[in-house]
Chain A
Amino acid sequence: MEQTKELYQETILEHGQNPRNFGSIKKATYSTEVFNPLCGDRCRVYLKTDGDNIRQVSFEGQGCLISIASASLMTEMLGGRTLKEASEIFRYFQGMVKSGNLRKKIELGKLAAFSGIAKFPQRVRCALLPWEAMRPFTKTTKYI
């Protein structure tokens, strides 16, 4: 139970059950859908940009608590950032969910709730699913 709680931290439970920025964006600059063939979960991310600035991010889809919470927190985190900042956050987040190490270089805020997931390697992909949709915009290369 203790390990389970470490994975499903309050923030994850809360965002997983009441996701923010859920829905489409009319006249989105970008929209991409990602799919996890292992479980059948899918997530579509919408992005409205103004030059290099991300004005608005939203998502739709179905998935487990981990992937929904990750999508919700991602949209909160990336709104108002530049694409460059977004790709840095993405890179740190990716490194953290895989290694479990929280590095201080960048403030991950609520996303730090995902630091327990490294102990559940089968679920790392769930946390990364919505971020995969950001890959083309942030030009982030795969970690593995």
Chain B
Amino acid sequence: MREDFPIFERKIGGKKLIYFDSASTTQKPKEVIDAVASFYKTANSNVHRGLYFLSREATEIFEATREKIRKFISAEEAREIVFVRGTTEAINLVATTFGKKFVKRGDEILISEMEHHSNIVPWQMVCQDRGAKLKIIPVTDSRELNLQEAEKLITKKTKLVAITHVSNVLGTINPVKEITKLAHKKRVPVLVDGAQAVGHIKVDVRDLDCDFYAFSGHKMYGSTGIGVLFGKKEWLEKLPPYQGGGEMIKQVTFEKTTYNDLPYKFEAGTPDIAGVVGLGAAIDYVTKVGADPIQRHEKELLKYGQEALSSIGGVKIFGRTRNKTGIISFILERVHPHDVGTFLDGEGIAIRTGHHCCQPLMERLGVVGTCRISFGIYNTKQEIDKLKTALLKARDFFHGTN
């Protein structure tokens, strides 16, 4: 698998690159890089606009990818797939338009304690704007969502529940289907932040029955700058447009504009066409490898990684629920995560350190930040062995002078 990713030919400080930051962004397989380059080399033109051959061809590729995504996440119709810049933009799109239309003074939006800032701040902004209140589902000591509390927190006042599918810090896979059921009992729609899920676990939006699902291309082996918002058509039809511009209109006069149909109503301006092409190639790649083998591989690395880290005295791991993706957050006692990160970098190992855009969760965990390793399909057990050796070295280095 590793040979599919050209970046691993690179050496960092004379050492083979060990990349443990896939939760931040995955590396790209040759197929994706080639697809993007090939589009620019042979097919570049704008979509839905030109009458000429190239534009027709680009439009066909573009729309075929939309259909590919529909199938990939099991949506009902291709018009429920909206292209955006990434998960953040997808959530902002829903927060802004849903807020404008449906949220009033005294209403509530329900999120959880383990959200990424991108699934906190847009809702906070809506609440500020509309005079609504942000409510929080707490995280249990076993680092899972407290479902009993969630049920109590969904009330008549709740206008929307926004929840992450997989925590980017803990790797916890949340029971999104159950939460959707709870919310739907009270006719409350649910948005799922799928940034850490798609490409790692099988995602079926019809099975989850969520109303909105947001994800990014670059966290599932695609290029940066492209993402997807899935929305049930009943909801997308009810929402006002997000941005104004070309493509999202039917007819424009200075007096009045009529808006385009789904999904174009939400796709103002020239989209990231090459990004869409790359995303299509990423889906082909992930499908070729297979959802089950990917999940099995990550699970194996997770188990191996947790055992390796636990065997190091002074390492504390956060979040050890059974239902997890390949993400491990930990600290090395008495050493600041940034110092660990810099030390490992010197050994050619890339990990993420800090608050991971989850300051409220850090507060709940009682730390300023953590070290995080996250796996992709290219990682190996040998790399985890090297990480362990490096961490032991780091411990000696930083504790040695005490």
Contacts and interface: CB of A to CB of B under 8 A. Distances in A.
Interface of A: 1, 3-4, 7-8, 10, 13-14, 17, 38-41, 62-66, 120, 123, 126
Given A13-B401, A17-B402, A39 B342 contact: no
Given A64-B336, A64-B339, A41 B368 contact: yes
A64 B335 CA distance: 8
Contact of A7 (B342, B347, B368, B393): B342
B355 interface: yes
Contacts, number: 52
Given A1-B393, A64-B338, A126-B338, 20 more contacts: A1-B347, A3-B346, A4-B346, A8-B339, A8-B343, A17-B398, A17-B401, A17-B402, A39-B353, A40-B362, A40-B368, A40-B369, A41-B368, A62-B368, A63-B336, A65-B336, A65-B339, A65-B398, A66-B338, A66-B339
B354 interface: yes
A64 B347 CA distance: 19
A142 B311 CA distance: 45
A127 to B, nearest CB: 12
B102 interface: no
Nearest to B362: A40
Interface centre among B336, B359, B402 (most CB of A within 10 A): B336
A63 B347 CA distance: 23
Contacts of A66: 338-339
Nearest to B394: A4
Contact of B342 (A4, A13, A14, A62): A4
Interface residues of B, number: 22
Nearest to A40: B368
A29 B336 CA distance: 31
B233 to A, nearest CB: 39
Contacts of A8: 339, 343, 397
Interface centre among B342, B343, B354, B355 (most CB of A within 10 A): B342
Contacts of A1: 346-347, 393
A93 B299 CA distance: 48
A8 B402 CA distance: 14
Contacts of B313: none
Contacts of B13: 3
Interface centre among A3, A40, A63 (most CB of B within 10 A): A40
B369 A39 contact: yes
Interface centre among B347, B353, B393, B398 (most CB of A within 10 A): B398
Contact of A40 (B335, B339, B359, B401): B359
Contacts of B401: 10, 13-14, 17
Contacts of B346: 1, 3-4
A64 B398 CA distance: 11
Contacts of A17: 398, 401-402
26 contacts: A1-B346, A1-B393, A3-B13, A4-B342, A4-B346, A8-B339, A8-B343, A10-B401, A14-B401, A17-B401, A17-B402, A38-B354, A39-B353, A39-B355, A40-B355, A40-B359, A41-B336, A41-B368, A62-B368, A63-B336, A64-B337, A64-B338, A65-B335, A65-B339, A66-B338, A120-B342
Interface string B328-363: 000000011111001100110000011100010010
